[in-house]
Every structure is written in structure tokens, then in C-alpha cells.
Amino acid sequence: MNVELLEDSTGVALEARVACPSCAGQDAQMLSSAPDRFNGRHVSYDLKKCTRCSLVWTANAPRPEEMAQHYGSEYDRAVTTAGESLARFEWRREQLAQYKTTGSVLDIGCSSGSFLYCMQRAGWDVSGIEMSRAAAEAAEARCGAKVFIGYISEAEYKPGTFDAITAFHVLEHAYSPTDMLRRVHRWLKPGGVFYMMSPNIDSAGFRVFGSYWFALELPRHLFHFSPASLTYMANSVGLEALSVKLGREPFIENSVRYIVDAGLEKVGIRRRPLANATHPGLAKRILRKAVRKTILPLASLPMRLAGPGESIHAFFQRPL
Ligand SMILES: [Zn+2]
């Protein structure tokens, strides 16, 4: 199998792969399989793990032309709601400030521009890439960001354009993350920094919840990184790691919900999937708040003992 051919043609279904898309290793093990629990669908997707570089990928992922039907307005709403708090974006700006405090930044998957807004306020020249026209226009209106609307594979910037490139929860959605990282490397100035986040498959969350772990997000997540497999892939395109850290984000509530939903379905009770969950009434909201204040903090200790953190916060640099 010609791995280069697969990496260059994003239209090739991942199921055809026998070689690891990152290291070309020929041995991959079955790790797990799970359906799209967010949408309550039943098609099962297989996770394969390379025995050489430890990369995990969704082996029988939908083809690119089929993928739109796996997103939809509920998913968009979930992403947009998650992006409403500016505090988390300010925190990300401060993290980046360890390495870069000013210059030009490109945010890949910039959504409606919350992060770029924080960066622009701090004096950065801001650009973005975003697939949704509505979100891109919101970002432009909000902070004057120059947003390319479309796929990263269609975007064109001169080599060495940016001081920093960011991609929060984007790389795992790409059909060819290697190709995306190559672009990042090319578009960064020498010494420029790439700051990204992605779920960690080598985490307590996946160890405890397995195929019910919320952050698997099948089939929208095509790749499932660990610090080791991510660093290997970044190094392979010439990016050097500055720091790769882990954060706690076990998604206990949603993962438990998936387990409960699956249990109920076995006895013939089918609840609305998470995507279509109704806004909870007052009694439910009070109960949920009580659980968040009491049980969830108690659960965080065993989660810490069960393994490493669930989200990867990684900084890479294009060498000088
Ligand atoms: Zn590999």
C-alpha cells in the first residue's frame, strides 16, 4: 500500500488503510469499537491502534462526501455553546504568551472568533480558517479577523506568514492530520509556535469508560491522539515539541449518560440522544447542580488514580 498516495488524496476512505497513516507501520491492533452515541445511531466504528507509533484512528470512517450528515445543527449548537465563555479563551492566550506575546496569529477552526477576539484585544493581527460561513462572518464582524471560509486543504498562505498558529480540537477531525501539520509548518515563520488541543486516548477517561467515553466522538473524530503519537507525527513534519501537557477533562456526566442510555435500550427504553436532549426543567437542573457539586468532585480522585489527563495541550515550534 502506498501511504503517500493515501495522505495526499483526502478522498480515499480510511477503511482502505492497512498501513499506519503516521509512521507507515504495518501492524495495527483493534482497540475498541463504538457507534455515534451523541446522535443515538447504531452503525459501529472500529478504532485501530498502530503498534509502532501508538496512533489510533477510526478505521471504517465515513467518506468525506458523507461526513456532513454526521455533523448537523445539534452538533453546531453544542460547539457554539461551548465557545461562549471568554475566560477559557483568555486562558489560552495566556498559555501562548509563554512563548509568543504579539505578531500574527492564524486560528484553524476559529468558529465565531472568541479566541481571535481575545488575541485582537491583546494587539495581535488575527486570521482564521472556518468551514461555516455564518461563523466566519461572525468572527469577521467581531474582531476584524481575515477568515478563509473552507477546508484547510484549500487555504493558501505564503510560507512563513504567521508567528503563531492555533487549532483547538481540530486535528482529530482532519482526514489527513499529517497534511494539516505540514501546512502549519510551512505557514509558520521560523521560530513560530503551533498551539493545539486534542483529546488524549491514553487517558483515565478512555480507560474507565472505554467505548462510552464522550470524547471519542465517533465518527467525527477520525484520529485519537496520545502525547506520544502526536509528538511523533509533529516531529515527522519538522515541528519540535516545546511542551506537551495534559489537562483533566474526563466528561464523566456525558460518558455516564451514554452507559445509562445503552443499558436502558437493552430493556427496550429508548431515550432522546444527547444531540436532541431537551432543556432540563427546574427540578432536573437542581438535581444536576447537586450532582456537580457533590458526586463529580468525589469521582475526580479515582479518575486521577486511573490514569493521565484527558486533554492534550501541546506547543510545537518550527525550528529557527
Ligand atoms: Zn504508526
- pLDDT-derived band at 82, boundaries 50, 70, 90: low
- pLDDT-derived band at 79, boundaries 50, 70, 90: low
Cα 56 to ligand 1 centroid, rounded to whole Å = 8
Can you tell me the distance from the alpha carbon of 269 to that of 166, in angstroms, rounded to the nearest whole number? Answer: 43
Cα 54 to ligand 1 centroid, rounded to whole Å = 6
pLDDT digits (tens, 9 = 90+) for 147-198: 999 999 999 999 999 999 999 999 999 999 999 999 999 999 999 999 999 9
Can you tell me the distance from the alpha carbon of 107 to that of 118, in angstroms, rounded to the nearest whole number? Answer: 12
Cα 52 to ligand 1 centroid, rounded to whole Å = 5
Residue 8 is predicted with a pLDDT of 40
Cα 252 to ligand 1 centroid, rounded to whole Å = 29
HEC letters along 212-276: HCHHHCCCCCCEECCHHHHHHHHHHCCCEEEEEEEECCCCHHHHHHHHHHHHHHHCCCCCCCHHH
Beta pairing class for 125-130 and 146-149: parallel
Query: What is the arithmetic mean of pLDDT over 234-256?
Result: 92
* Cα angle 277-278-279, degrees, rounded to a multiple of 5: 120
Q: Within 13 A of 83's CA, how many CA atoms are on the CB side?
A: 21
Cα 110 to ligand 1 centroid, rounded to whole Å = 29
- pLDDT-derived band at 296, boundaries 50, 70, 90: confident
pTM (2 d.p.): 0.88
Cα 44 to ligand 1 centroid, rounded to whole Å = 23
- pLDDT-derived band at 285, boundaries 50, 70, 90: confident
Cα 23 to ligand 1 centroid, rounded to whole Å = 4
Residue 12 is predicted with a pLDDT of 46
For residue 254, give every residue at least 6 positions away whose Cβ sits within 8 Å of its Cβ, in sequence order, or none. Answer: 214, 274
Query: What is the arithmetic mean of pLDDT over 68-72?
Result: 84
DSSP letter for 199, please. Answer: E
Cα 182 to ligand 1 centroid, rounded to whole Å = 17
Cα 314 to ligand 1 centroid, rounded to whole Å = 19
Cα 25 to ligand 1 centroid, rounded to whole Å = 5
Cα 232 to ligand 1 centroid, rounded to whole Å = 9
Cα 114 to ligand 1 centroid, rounded to whole Å = 35
Cα 90 to ligand 1 centroid, rounded to whole Å = 35
- pLDDT-derived band at 101, boundaries 50, 70, 90: very high
Question: In whole angstroms, what separates CA 37 from the centre of its chain?
Answer: 17
